Amino acid sequence: MKIDLAVLGRQYELHAAEYEAAALRALRSGWYIMGPELEAFEQEFAAYTGAAYAVGLNSGLDALILSVRVLGIGAGDEVIVPANTYIATVLAVTENGAKPVFVEPDEYYNLDAARVEAAVTERTRAIMPVHLYGQAVDMPHVMEIADRCRLAVIEDCAQSHGAHFGGTMTGRFGNVGCFSFYPTKNLGAFGDAGAIVTDDAVLAEKMRMLRNYGSKEKYHNEICGVNSRLDEVQAALLRVKLRHLPELTAERKEIAAHYLAGIQNEHILLPSLRAGAEHVYHQFVVRTAARDHFKAYLAARGIETVIHYPIPPHLAECYAAFGYGRVSLPVAEQYADEVLSLPMFNGMRDDEIAYVIETVNAYTGRCAAHG
């Protein structure tokens, strides 16, 4: 049996008629940028998250970059970021000329809130927690520190659509929540797309200007902006998937429940859930000291896996000149050496789930047979 990490075509097949009708509606409208589909999606996504405002953008990275910019963070400022994250989180800081300050992850792979306060300096302007793999960060702890130290909070929700901590959805704790709708995300578009949510009317209005060359009115550019607009076709498609997101999330949780109950292997560490946090399983990430051997073992048996992520941002080649690699971050580096994502996608069949469990349980460690 061959099982890919994610089979996006099955998401389409689940609601194909609805997607096709939405795409045709947008195409036949003759209005392809900044039109009624985007306006409707922004209203619906804001309502879904419980935010007052949503602003559609071209990508999750743009959501992060422009959120840092709209808060006035730049050269000479510091932003606290998790050491265990995708590089987009850090790029958002450095693209604005600010300095990322890395904080180690906790046992749930997220920003360790207990280590955050020690990283605060007189130059710190914001904290950027990332709800990695789909599990919410310990946001009450983060917000207590932010409030006491008068820091902004920019939530990276690229992997946590619909996840809550307590009764509050991720993206709703801080000044602004940043979402990616990349096709592999739990709420994925059929191309690049992103958005921010906020309760701050001034921030939302400035974000709308920034995404459209810095203008409210065409050719009247009040601030220096960019071109970062979520197009009408993607907005129409996202409106369909948003309606089905609760059931899609429930399906991912069910797959995870099968993995958690079925995988029993002393060589494999399963993900754990923080009390009060919800996990929507954008990825199902396990750990093993013999990760590369385990990955090759699964590949030989037709199971595709991916490492999220093999190189921590502080060790990325693009930051070599910044000297971040001299920072001691052993936990993040250990995770980079040990984590592996098992197949997790909507439309995954019961026999595929069972085959993954059976194959993982048959793994006997680094000294396993080569066959």
In a domain, 205, yes or no: yes
Residue range 191-215: mean pLDDT, rounded: 98
Number of domains in the chain: 2
Q: What is the pLDDT of residue 128?
A: 98
Q: Is residue 367 included in any domain, yes or no?
A: no
Statement: the pTM of the whole predicted model exceeds 0.75: yes
- The two beta strands, 194-198 and 78-82, are unpaired
The answer to whether residue 108 is domain-embedded is yes
208: left (phi over 0), alpha (psi -120 to 50) or beta: alpha
Name every residue whose Cβ is closer than 8 Å to that of residue 314 and which is 6 or more positions away in sequence. 83, 102, 324, 325, 327, 329, 332
> What does the pLDDT look like over 295-329, one tens digit per residue?
999 999 999 999 999 999 999 999 999 998 888 99
Whether 218 and 312 share a structural domain:
no
Give the C-alpha distances (Å, rounded to integers) separating 265 from 253, 268, 339, 341. Answer: 21, 5, 15, 16
The residue count for the chain? 371
How far, in Å, are 90, 92, 178, 369 from residue 76 at the CA level? Answer: 15, 15, 23, 55
pLDDT at 368: 43
The Cβ of residue 224 has, within 10 Å, a number of other Cβ atoms equal to 10
Instruction: Indicate whether 262 pLDDT > 60.
Output: yes
Average pLDDT over every residue of 85-110: 98
Rounded Cα distance, 113 and 337, in Å: 23
Q: Is the pLDDT of residue 221 over 90?
A: yes
Percent of the chain with pLDDT over 90: 95
Question: In terms of domains, do 25 and 100 share one?
Answer: yes
Does the structure show a pLDDT above 90 at 370?
Answer: no
Are 193 and 257 within one domain? no
Dihedral sign for Cα atoms in the order 172, 195, 205, 155: positive
Tell me what pLDDT residue 371 has: 37
Residue type, 332: A
80 in a structural domain: yes
pLDDT (average), residues 327-355: 97
Structural domain ending residue among the three candidates 239, 255, 288? 239
pLDDT of 200 over the 90 cut: yes
pLDDT score at 294? 98
Same domain, 212 and 89: yes
Q: Based on the fold, state whether residues 195 and 282 are members of the same structural domain.
A: no
Q: How confident is the model at residue 36 (pLDDT cuts 50, 70, 90)?
A: very high
Q: What is the CATH number of the domain that holds 325?
A: 3.90.1150.10
Q: Tokens representing 233?
A: 């076709």
Q: For residues 282 and 155, state if they share a domain.
A: no
What is residue 197's three-state secondary structure?
strand
Is the residue at 369 inside a domain?
no
Shared-domain flag, residues 232 and 119: yes
In a shared domain, residues 149 and 282: no
The CATH number given to whatever domain includes residue 38 is 3.40.640.10
Considering the domain boundaries, does residue 270 fall inside one? yes
Q: Give the mean pLDDT of the chain.
A: 96
The answer to whether position 57 is within a domain reads yes
Contacts of 330 (CB under 8 A, 6+ apart): 104
End-of-domain residue from the set 215, 239, 263: 239
Do residues 104 and 208 both lie within one domain? yes
| Peptide linkage before 48 cis (omega within 30 of 0) | no
Looking at the fold, whether 336 and 216 belong to one and the same domain comes out as no
User: How many whole angstroms separate alpha carbon 95 and alpha carbon 241?
Assistant: 31
The greatest distance separating any two alpha carbons of the chain, rounded to the nearest whole angstrom, comes to: 68
Is position 332 within any domain?
A: yes
Per-residue confidence (pLDDT) for residue 367, from 0 to 100: 58
Mean pLDDT of 1-20: 93
Question: Which structural domain range is residue 19 located in?
Answer: 8-239
Which of 211, 239, 267 is where one domain is finished?
A: 239
Same domain, 120 and 210: yes
Q: In this predicted structure, what is the pLDDT of residue 211?
A: 98
Same domain, 234 and 252: no
